[in-house]
Structure 1
Amino acid sequence: MPGQESPHYAATFAARYDDWFPSPVTDSTVELLAALAKTAGDGPVLELGSGTGRVALPLAARGLDVHGVEGAPEMTERLRAKPGGHDITVTAGDFSSVPVDGSFAMVYVVSGGFFELPTQQSQARCFAAAAARLLPGGLFVLDAHVPEALAAPEAALHVVPIEGGMTVRMRTIDRASQRYSSHYLVLDGNGVHHVPVSFRYASAGELDLMAAMAGLRLRNRYGGWSGEAFTAASAYHVSVYELPVT
């Protein structure tokens, strides 16, 4: 469960997490979220799985009041060590229940983190809990792979250069259980580290149904964080759900 990561997972993942997301990826994510926040009205924003602050800190630097939920203390320690890290209010816990007080203009989860929730029930619970924390007209934003693209052969292996080594990601898919696993082999000066991460994927239609059950409606679906159109050829999407004002 997010918020219940094993010490092995959190310790290794936290140390290399920022290396796996080059600046253009982070920059486009921050740009779109900042633009969406401007349309969501006044109010703080909440990141589910705030991690090392890769996205939360640049959003806060733009003047947004950013809060987070994070289950791995190693991740939050990395956030606190960065400039401005102590200005982000982080609640420790499993983000499927959104364990915070108050209301938010926008709740978001990035980098496919939503799909670390292991069951349809926990994912639907997260939608409902996020909706309950939104101000009228507020937004719930998440990103996702298109399941058909996950199954493509070219998606199975990916190499990411990191300082002093590389990370090799191997992906396996179990269509019967609607799950995929990413196995990260981190090669650096300290040897080889295996970091397995499991996900429960969902189609865009299934996500829309969860949203509707939570009282949200789809406002927009982009083909990526750069804001491109979502088309039949898209392998990825950023979905923006809205809590109706009335």
Structure 2
Amino acid sequence: MRQEDIWDAETAQQYDTPGTGAFAPEVLEPMVERLAALADGGRALEFAIGTGRVAVPLAARGVPVAGIELSQPMIDVLRAKADEATIPVVNGDMATARVPGEHTLVFLVFNTISNLLTQAEQVECFRNAARHLVPGGRFVIELGVPALRSLPPGQPARVRHAEPGYLAMETYDLVRQRMISHHLRFGDGREARLFRTPHRYVWPAELDLMAQIAGFELESRNADWRAGEFTDESNSHVSVYRLT
């Protein structure tokens, strides 16, 4: 599965869920507040900007925002919200594409670094963030903690969420450090619709080493955007790296 094929026009049109899920105010508002503070009056760059879920409200806060996005259909949806002059976007791979200018903040949220399916690509993503930052600039990553402890003994899969008409399941390849997220939607009949995305999961310690290779040091790590304490029970983290 190529990322370009996954994030097609149909997916882009269905991606936004205004007011609910990842677009709910209680999810977005603390994120935008924290990112605006971390930008520290400078320019921000979002890797995998998508349809502008975060970039649009961040720009509305007065933070100049640009983006990199692999999927042209996702950019097309963003363009219905903000023009090129307001939020410039480069269509390309976040591990290699360049955006003009220097930034005080680069951010990559919603587990998206795991869309890069090799360790080498993920390291290059850190290096690309460094290329865009001024000295002392920050790279922020929001990422889930691999849920391997919840796998049934000897089994490569777990059900992450279940509700009427919807089932989310993850299957793991522990040797290659890969995970596929399966989303199944169904009604009362026999028809069902499946959406799948491949990922390379990353432990926080491995992420820290990638950062060190690219010239960053860990500034802070929290369990969420409200600066909750990160513990061994946390299922996700917001990690802030500073360019040395």
Say whether residues 1:21 and 2:22 are aligned partners: yes
Residue 118 of structure 1 is matched in structure 2 by: 117
Q: How many angstroms does 1:16 deviate by? A: 2.6
CA distance 1:192–1:52, shift in 2 (3 Å): farther
Task: Say if 2:94 and 2:128, in contact at 8 Å, map to a contact too.
Answer: no
Distance 1:111 1:167 in 2: 20
Secondary structure class of the residue paired with 1:95: coil
Distance 2:10 2:193 in 1: 8
The structure in which a higher percent of residues are helix is 1
Count residues with an aligned counterpart. Answer: 231
5+ long unaligned stretches in structure 2: 153-157
CA distance 1:140–1:160, shift in 2 (3 Å): farther
Letter in 1 for 2:243: L
Q: Provide Cα deviations, 1:213-243, integer angstroms capped at 9, x if missing partner.
A: 1110000001112211111221111110001
Residue 32 of structure 1 is matched in structure 2 by: 34
Which TM-score applies when normalising by structure 1?
0.85
Say whether residues 1:96 and 2:85 are aligned partners: no
Out of 191-200 and 48-57, give the one that drifted further: 191-200
Distance 2:224 2:109 in 1: 11
Secondary structure class of the residue paired with 2:199: strand
Instruction: Give aligned-pair identity as a percent.
Output: 42
Letter in 2 for 1:14: A
Distance 1:93 1:69 in 2: 6
Out of 193-202 and 179-188, give the one that drifted further: 179-188
Task: Say if 2:169 and 2:183, in contact at 8 Å, map to a contact too.
Answer: yes
Q: Provide Cα deviations, 1:147-206, integer angstroms capped at 9, x if missing partner.
A: 2x3552596332589xxxx65322111211111111122458xx7432210110111111
Say whether residues 1:158 and 2:122 are aligned partners: no
Task: Say if 2:101 and 2:132, in contact at 8 Å, map to a contact too.
Answer: yes
- Alpha-carbon RMSD across the aligned residues, in angstroms, is 2.3
Out of 46-55 and 85-94, give the one that drifted further: 85-94
Q: What are the within-5 Å matches in structure 2 for residues 187-226 of structure 1?
A: 187=186, 192-226=192-226
Q: How many angstroms does 1:33 deviate by? A: 1.3
Distance 1:10 1:150 in 2: 30
Distance 1:196 1:68 in 2: 25
Secondary structure class of the residue paired with 1:180: strand
Task: Say if 1:48 and 1:95, in contact at 8 Å, map to a contact too.
Answer: yes
Residue 234 of structure 2 is matched in structure 1 by: 234
Residue 79 of structure 1 is matched in structure 2 by: 78
Out of 24-33 and 212-221, give the one that drifted further: 24-33
Distance 1:145 1:122 in 2: 18
Task: Say if 1:98 and 1:126, in contact at 8 Å, map to a contact too.
Answer: no
Task: Say if 1:13 and 1:195, in contact at 8 Å, map to a contact too.
Answer: no
- Greater RCO (CA < 8 Å, at least 6 residues apart): 1
5+ long unaligned stretches in structure 1: none
Task: Say if 1:127 and 1:210, in contact at 8 Å, map to a contact too.
Answer: yes
Letter in 2 for 1:199: H
CA distance 1:77–1:168, shift in 2 (3 Å): farther
Task: Say if 1:5 and 1:71, in contact at 8 Å, map to a contact too.
Answer: yes
CA distance 1:235–1:105, shift in 2 (3 Å): same
Task: Say if 2:218 and 2:239, in contact at 8 Å, map to a contact too.
Answer: yes
Which TM-score applies when normalising by structure 2?
0.86
Q: How many angstroms does 1:106 deviate by? A: 0.4
Secondary structure class of the residue paired with 1:156: strand
Task: Say if 1:127 and 1:211, in contact at 8 Å, map to a contact too.
Answer: yes
Task: Say if 1:98 and 1:130, in contact at 8 Å, map to a contact too.
Answer: no
